[in-house]
Amino acid sequence: MNTFKITPTNKEFIKKITHKINNKTKPIGSLGTLEIIAQKLCLIQDTLAPKLSKPTMLVFAADHGIVNNYPVSSCPQEVTPQMVFNFLEGGAGINVFCNQHGFDLSVIDAGVNFDFENYDVLINAKIAKGTKDYSVEPAMTKEQCEQAIKKAGEIVADKHAKGSNVISFGEMGIGNTSSASLLMSAVTKQSIETCIGKGAGLTDEGLANKIAILTKVQEFHGVSENPLENLQNFGGFEVAMMTGAMLKAAELKMTLIIDGFIATSSLLVAQEINKNVLDYCLFSHVSNEQGHIKMLDFLNATPILHLNLRLGEGTGAAIAYPIIQSAEIFINQMASFESAGVVNPAD
């Protein structure tokens, strides 16, 4: 499945980038994380003058069979299509933040248990009407998993062809924090219990039930060394599509802005398929879903924002965008010591 050709960024370029950043009219290091973001943008675009163009937000939605048989979520499955309608009508969190920051938003039906009419922002990529209940069988077939990865790649390629070079991935799928926890445990080898949180809003008792249910699921399937097998066994169609979308976006040398717990679980799988995907990622925030910080630690990733978000949909990525723009703007527009005629205190 590693058909994605992702070029690692050229780390030898870091010296030149650091030189440019350190010659801006400021004390060395004083723009903190903005300097790290600027360096990454330069590496991704292989230039000292990176430009962000046409930010894209892809929100993938799908249902999860487990939700109908076990109380792993505080919400019933119907909330997934209801929220998709909300996305299509422009009223959800992700809509307002995408409007605020000029993102082109598409909503992808990856596998919702409902048939939607045509909407301009809706892309129909339905694999099936929800996954199977993975407590008794694999969530999806190998073919469905491969189809999800491939279709998502095609959507990304289309956005790239239209001039986008910065992209984020959001999701909606009641029950998808369960898939994310199972994938996290499989990839990071941490116990399933440490990977499970309250999701959209379980009580303490609900959390204990979720842990008991998912512990049995993990015992039933075991953990595979093959990332695609884990995706098939207990992933979701939206989770698999985000994995495919991330790999394709990195292949196309786009800047990827990674959202919260569920999006990061897709990245955990993606980086097992091709480690180089990580060279293209910025991490928008650390989610309040308790496992997220451990995912970020595993990836050695520094989140931009700490806002106690726990919504998903891609919201954290959209909210972090103006900060990424500030990194782009300072490296392009700030004067250097030479051009401004300011004495460089480092000399």
Ligand X SMILES: Cc1cc2ncn([C@H]3O[C@H](COP(=O)(O)O)[C@@H](O)[C@H]3O)c2cc1C
Ligand Y SMILES: O=C(O)c1cccnc1
Near ligand Y in 183-222, by CB under 6 A = 199-200
Pick 153 or 199: Cβ nearer ligand Y: 199
Task: Please state the closest distance from residue 8 (CB atom) to ligand X, in A.
Answer: 31
Size, binding site for ligand X by CB under 6 A: 18
Q: Please answer whether residues 282 and 325 qualify as being in contact, where contact means their C-beta atoms are separated by less than 8 angstroms.
A: no
Q: Which does 83 bind (CB under 5 to 8 A by kind): ligand X, ligand Y, none?
A: ligand X
Contact status: 176 vs ligand X (CB under 6 A): yes
Q: Which residue among 292, 303, 317, 319 contacts ligand Y (CB under 6 A)?
A: 292
Q: Which residue among 200, 223, 293, 323 contacts ligand X (CB under 6 A)?
A: 200
Q: How far apart are CA 273 and CA 2, in angstroms?
A: 6
Does the annotation mark 313 as catalytic? yes
Residue 186 phi, psi dihedral angles, 5° rounding: -65, -40
- What's the half-sphere exposure (Cβ side, CA atoms, 13 Å) at 110? 40
Contact status: 199 vs ligand X (CB under 6 A): yes
Q: Please choose, from the candidates 293, 251, 286, the residue with its C-alpha nearest in 3D space to the C-alpha of residue 270.
A: 251
Q: Which does 310 bind (CB under 5 to 8 A by kind): ligand Y, ligand X, none?
A: ligand Y
Q: How far apart are CA 31 and CA 22, in angstroms?
A: 10
Q: Please answer whether residues 167 and 55 qualify as being in contact, where contact means their C-beta atoms are separated by less than 8 angstroms.
A: yes
* Cα 318 from chain centre: 11
Q: Which does 178 bind (CB under 5 to 8 A by kind): ligand Y, ligand X, none?
A: ligand X
Q: Which does 261 bind (CB under 5 to 8 A by kind): ligand Y, ligand X, none?
A: ligand Y
- What's the half-sphere exposure (Cβ side, CA atoms, 13 Å) at 193? 3
Each residue 136-175 as x (binds ligand X by CB under 6 A) or -, in order, gives: -----------------------------------xxxxx
Residue 224 phi, psi dihedral angles, 5° rounding: -100, 155
Task: Please state the closest distance from residue 181 (CB atom) to ligand Y, in A.
Answer: 11
Residues 6+ apart with CB under 8 A from 260: 284, 285, 287, 289, 292, 309, 310, 311, 312, 316
Q: Which does 172 bind (CB under 5 to 8 A by kind): ligand X, ligand Y, none?
A: ligand X
Near ligand X in 64-103, by CB under 6 A = 73-75, 79, 83
Rg (CA), the chain: 20
Choose, from 238, 251, 313, 328, the residue flagged as catalytic. Answer: 313
User: HEC string of 243-300?
Assistant: HHHHHHHHHCCCEEEECCHHHHHHHHHHHHHCHHHHHHEEEEECCCCCCHHHHHHHCC
CA angle 266, 200, 313 (to 5 degrees): 50
- Measured from each CB, the residue nearest to ligand Y is 260
Q: Please answer whether residues 313 and 288 qualify as being in contact, where contact means their C-beta atoms are separated by less than 8 angstroms.
A: no
Q: Which residue among 262, 299, 320, 324 contacts ligand Y (CB under 6 A)?
A: 262
Contact status: 258 vs ligand X (CB under 6 A): no
Q: Is 143 helix (H, G, I), strand (E, B) or coil?
A: helix
Q: Read off the tokens for 306.
A: 């700490």
Task: Please state the closest distance from residue 296 (CB atom) to ligand X, in A.
Answer: 18
Contact status: 109 vs ligand X (CB under 6 A): no
Contact status: 192 vs ligand X (CB under 6 A): no
Each residue 272-291 as x (binds ligand Y by CB under 6 A) or -, in order, gives: ---------------x-x--
Near ligand X in 292-321, by CB under 6 A = 311-313
Q: Which residues bind ligand X (CB under 6 A)?
A: 73-75, 79, 83, 171-178, 199-200, 311-313
Contact set with ligand Y (CB under 6 A) = 177, 199-200, 259-262, 287, 289, 292, 310-312
> Annotated catalytic sites, by residue?
313
